[in-house]
Amino acid sequence: MVRIVNYQKRQAEDGKVFFVLELQGGIEMVKSTETGKFYITARKASISSTFDEVTCQALIGTELPGKIEKVTCEPYDYTIKDTGEVITLTHRYEYVEESTINQKVEKSKTTIEEFMSNPPSGNAFSTNGHYAHQE
């Protein structure tokens, strides 16, 4: 589940004003590459809306089925607000609806079931739970 935690007013290239909803996923533990210590964080993403400001404000706190996933993209520069440091990123975070997640799981299950019902010849995997060395 993800939660709507805020909204922002934006302006399109043609000058038209619209609102985006800020989404936040569940908490997760991440290990720092610098210190080796864990910290807790949550993934965030924004999504465009057709709502007016009053509706966006009323939606804060609403939960939606799905999650926020890390997606590879073209490199872009990002400025860290606290330090002013500019870094290059090659990923962004996107909202993925629950039905898409379930489709990925079903596709994986189908692939595994097909493999087990028709394994390649010379298969090194056990089909009965016991390892038997073949010569």
Each residue of 17-47: pLDDT tens digit? 999 999 999 999 989 888 999 999 999 999 9
- For residue 71, list its beta bridge partners: 92
Both tokens assigned to 78: 């990002």
Q: What is the pTM of this model?
A: 0.64
Least confident of 82-91, 96-105, 113-122, 125-134: 125-134
Least confident of 5-14, 31-40, 69-78, 107-116: 107-116
6, 31, 109 from 47: Cα distances, Å? 11, 28, 30
In the chain, which ranges are continuous DSSP H helix? 53-59, 98-117
- Asked if residues 71 and 93 have their Cβ atoms less than 8 Å apart, the reply is yes
pLDDT, tens digit (0-9, with 9 covering 90-100), for 112-125:
666 666 665 555 55
Phi-psi label, residue 61: left if phi above 0, alpha if psi -120 to 50, beta otherwise: left
Q: Which helix (H) or strand (E) holds 30?
A: strand 17-31
